[in-house]
Amino acid sequence: MTQRETRARGTVREIHARGIVPGTGSGPALVSPEAISFLGDLDIKSGKIVNQRHPLLGVSISGHVLVLPHSVGSAGAWRFLYQLFVHGTHPVAIVQHKLPDSSLVQGAILAKIPILCEPDADILTVIRTGDLVEVDGTTGLVRVTAAAGTSRTAEARSPA
Query: Pairing between strand 24-31 and 115-117?
Result: unpaired
Distance CA 146, CA 154 (A): 12
How would you label 36-65 residue by residue, b for 16+ Cβ within 10 Å and e otherwise?
bbbbebbebeebbbeeeebebeeebbbebb
Concerning whether 71 is annotated as a catalytic residue, the answer is no
CA distance 105 to 81: 9
Catalytic residue among 37, 62, 74, 158: 74
Residue 25 to residue 136: CA distance in whole angstroms: 7
Distance CA 131, CA 106 (A): 27
Active-site residue list: 74
